[in-house]
Amino acid sequence: MSCTRRVVIAVFPDVDILDVTGPAEVFTLANRVTSGTAGYRVELAGRARGEVTTSAGLRLVADLSFDEVDGVLDTLLISGAVDADPAGQGTRADGDLVAWVKRVAPMARRTVSVCGGAHVLAAAGLLDGRTATTHWSTAAQLAAEHPEVTVDPDPIFVRCGSLWTGAGISACIDLALALVAEDLGEEIALAVAQQLVMYLKRQGGQSQFSVPLSRPPTTRRDIDHLRMYIADNLDGDLSAASLAARMCLSQRHFARVFRQETGTTPGAYVQAARVEAARRLLEGSDRPLDQVAAACGLGSVETLHRALRKQIGTTPAAYRRRFRMTT
């Protein structure tokens, strides 16, 4: 039996266009692959009806003004806008938009943010005492401005009850697929992902992007290649001696160059990469802890425990209970 799932997406000047069109496309495809029984109806809401110019210069059309949004909503989705300045990227939470979210969120079965939209939810007080994510480049800003929010910059998305927060830009599609999976099941979500020619669940979190990209550009391409090698061979020999030999450098010179380019030691970098991989497996699979440890190059369950306790202050079992993605 078909039903109506009303999805309202906020739009405003300079909004990131993919934050709007990505989820809208996912919901539209869900309707298509279910021959309309999914029942998603997407509406764009802005300060006023009519055209809104996005950050890409392309224009969207708001179906409704903020004041006209009433009644029951299935999903309220708050898109984001990221500003670039000489000090780095930042995001803004417009006061009128924040006030509107405070009013409308109680009408929605679930409230969702993508990218910088998490800053709006935080400003509205909806994320107090919760864990949230946002674009990796503005995670520090979110944490500094809203210390009452636990900001995790790595996940592609985080769910806390009826509140979902998503990472940056294209991650809005991953998040929308997860919403479809919650509503209609994994099989339908997979069919939508196939139509989009993408994975239903991507293999990594934001750390695969934020670790190399949040630092200044390197002066040595071979170091960048080495980091890719590390990510692809976490269960291999990644000792400083082995990596130095791969770079055809003495171990001492390699350690100096690597720290200069990455800001950390080879050993610390490898350990962080292995912990990130372990977190992804704990979130996205039911593999036993000994298999998780082996796949990430941590060797044993005891080493996995020590590494997670040191880096994120919890145990593998506790982390999995909190962040396991279930359907």
DSSP state, residue 167: -
User: Cα separation of 42 and 198, whole Å?
Assistant: 22
Is-contact 271 265, C-beta < 8 A?
A: no
Is-contact 305 316, C-beta < 8 A?
A: yes
Q: What are phi and psi of 85, to 5 degrees?
A: -140, 170
Q: Where are the beta strands (DSSP E) in 54-203?
A: 59-62, 64-65, 73-78, 82-85, 88-91, 108-113, 131-132, 150-151, 157-160, 163-166
User: Cα separation of 240 and 220, whole Å?
Assistant: 18
Active site includes 115? yes
**3-state SS record for 70-86:** CCCEEEEEECCCEEEEC
Is-contact 190 200, C-beta < 8 A?
A: yes
User: Cα separation of 255 and 241, whole Å?
Assistant: 9
User: Cα separation of 138 and 303, whole Å?
Assistant: 32
Cα first-last separation, the chain: 21
Residues assigned a catalytic role: 115
